[in-house]
Structure 1
C-alpha cells in the first residue's frame, strides 16, 4: 500500500508535469512592469532575424508602451528594446503595433492609448529595428463617417492590387460595438496623413456570430493568390476572445470561412483558457505559416503571454498543425 505522503508527492509531481506539458514551445512574456504582460504581437523578418513588436504595460502601470524582441527561430525570443511615449499625442500611451517591411525599413503602425474615441493610428520607421522615427503628420489616420465614433486602433497594413490597405478597429457611435474598417493609400505612398482615404462607408466586418459577441478587432492579413485572408479576434478580451477567419477578393467585401472560431480558447486549467486572441499571421523565410496570438488563464488582465501555432493550407483553407 502506498504511504499517504508518497501518494501526495506523486500527485504534486503529476500536476507539475501536466502544467509543464500544457505550456507551448513558444511561451513569451515581458516582466518590465512587474507583471508578466505581453499582448498584440506582430512579427517581421528584417536584417537576417525575426523581430516581434508587442504591447507592454508601462512601469507606472497607467498606460502602455511597445516591447521589441528578436529571434532566430521564431520560438525563443530575447527582448532588445522598447518604444515609449515621446510625443504629446502619445502621453497616455501607445500600443497594438502592426509592422510592415519595405525598402530596407520597418514601418510601424501603432495606436495612441487612453483617449477613447480620439485614439488614432500613428506611423514610425526604423532602419535598425529598435530606434524609430515618428511620422511628422502623426496621427496619420482617424476613422470618419456617421457609422463610427472616430476611433481607429489595431492597425494592419498590407499591399494588395497596387494599393496599401489599412485595416483598423473602430466603434459604433455609442462606443459599445467594436468592428473592422478599412482605408487605402496609393502604391507609392509615404503613409502620411493625407495619403489615406476611407475605402468603405460602413464596417467591413461587424460582430454577428454568437462567439464574437460585441467585438471584432485585431485583424491580421495574408495574401494567397488573388485573395486576402483576414485572421481576426472575436469578442473583447477574456470573454473569451477567440480567433476567426474571413476572405476577400477586393479587400473590402469579406466572407467568413467558418461560423465557429478557427482557434479557440484553451480548456479549463490550460495556460490560455481565458482566451486565444489578437492574431498575427506570419509567413517565415522558408515559406511556413505561423499564427501568433496572446493568451492567459487569469481572466483579469494582469497576465498575458504570447505563443504561436503552425498552419498549412489545403484547398484554400488553413489547417492548424499543433
Structure 2
C-alpha cells in the first residue's frame, strides 16, 4: 500500500467560505481561568449529545495530569461540563488525551492516547453505559503501529464501523520523531477491541503523509465518515498554530487514500478572528437525521488559549463543502 502523491484530478478549488458556527466557541477554563480545551469528539447517546475532549492538568503549573473532559448538550450548540476521565497508573501515569468516541449497541466506546511518553505513547480503550463513568480495557494499551516507516507511537485515534469491522485511524511519526503521518488499523466488531484484536493496515507505508505546502511536516487527527460507497477522512495539516488547518481525503477501502482538495477545506481564520492561529484537530459527527457536523479547535493566541467549535458540513454526493445549500 502506498500513500497518495497527488490530490484527485478535480481537487483544485477556490478557498471555501468561512465556516458558519453552531453557537459560540466554547472551552473549559484552566486552573487560572484561561479557556483551554482541545481535540473534540462527539456522539449521541439516547436524547443527549456528549463531547469528549482534552483538558490540561487541574493543578496550576503541573506538567502531568492531562485528561479527558466530558460535556453534554441538548442541541450541539450549548455545552456543560459533566465529567472528567483522569489518568490511571502505568502507561497513563503522565496523562491521557485526544479521545475518539463511538456508540455501539448503546455503549460509548472511547479510544484515547496515553500522553507524555514520546515514542511510547499508544492507544487505549474504555467503555461506558452512561457516557460518563468508564471501565478500562484490561489489555490497555490496545494498539501501537508496526512497520519500519514509523516510530511505533500511536495518538489521535478515531473509529468508525465499516461492515463487520471497526476501522481505527491514528497518527504516528517517522522513526526520527519529526514528521507526523496517519495510518489505519482494523478489528472485528465482536472482538472486544483488546490488544490482540487489531490488525495494522498501514504496515508498508502511511495512509497519508504531508506533501502539500500547507501541511508542512504534519498530518494528524484523522476523523472518519462514510458517504455512499466512499470513506471520507478529515485531517489536520501542520503542527499546532503553524497554523494548523483542516483538509480531507477519500478512500474506497479504508487503506488507500486520495486527497479531495489541494487547499485546506477549513483554513485558519483571517487576522482578528477567533481562530486566526489555527483551525485544527477535526472530529466529525453524523446525527440521527443524517446531517453531518465538523467539530474542531481554534484560537487567536498562538495556543495560549483554545476553544472548541462546530460547523455543519454539506455534501455534493461524496464531496463535502461549507456554506449555505446551493
Q: CA deviation at 1:162?
A: 2.2
1:286 aligned onto 2:289: yes
CA distances 1:219-241 after superposition (whole Å, capped 9, x unpaired): 00001111110000000000000
Separation (CA, whole Å) in 2 of partners of 1:166 and 1:114: 21
How many residues align? The count is 300
1:184 aligned onto 2:186: yes
Separation (CA, whole Å) in 1 of partners of 2:153 and 2:288: 35
* Greater mean deviation of Cα atoms: 210-219 or 24-33: 24-33
Separation (CA, whole Å) in 2 of partners of 1:260 and 1:181: 21
Q: Structure 1: which 5+ runs fail to align? A: 1-21
Separation (CA, whole Å) in 2 of partners of 1:252 and 1:23: 32
Aligned to 2:57: 58
Q: CA deviation at 1:145?
A: 1.5
Separation (CA, whole Å) in 1 of partners of 2:128 and 2:24: 26
CA distances 1:121-178 after superposition (whole Å, capped 9, x unpaired): 0000001111000000000011112110010000011111321111100000100000
Change (3 A) 1:248 1:269: same
User: More helix per residue: 1 or 2?
Assistant: 1
Alignment of 1:8-47 (within 5 A): 25-34=23-32, 35-47=34-46
Please, which of 236, 240, 244 is the counterpart of residue 241 of structure 1?
244
Aligned to 2:11: none
Q: Structure 2: which 5+ runs fail to align? A: 1-19
Aligned to 1:136: 138
Aligned to 1:122: 124
Q: CA deviation at 1:203?
A: 0.4
CA distances 1:14-63 after superposition (whole Å, capped 9, x unpaired): xxxxxxxx987231101143221100000000021000000000123413
Separation (CA, whole Å) in 2 of partners of 1:54 and 1:94: 10
TM-score by length of structure 2 reads 0.89
How big is the alpha-carbon RMSD for the aligned residues of Structure 1 and Structure 2? 1.4
SS in 1 for 2:196: helix
Q: CA contact under 8 A between 1:169 and 1:218: conserved in structure 2?
A: yes
Aligned to 1:175: 177
1:68 aligned onto 2:66: no
Separation (CA, whole Å) in 2 of partners of 1:23 and 1:46: 23
Larger radius of gyration: 1
SS in 2 for 1:195: coil
Separation (CA, whole Å) in 2 of partners of 1:110 and 1:166: 11
Higher relative contact order (CA 8 A, sep 6+): 2
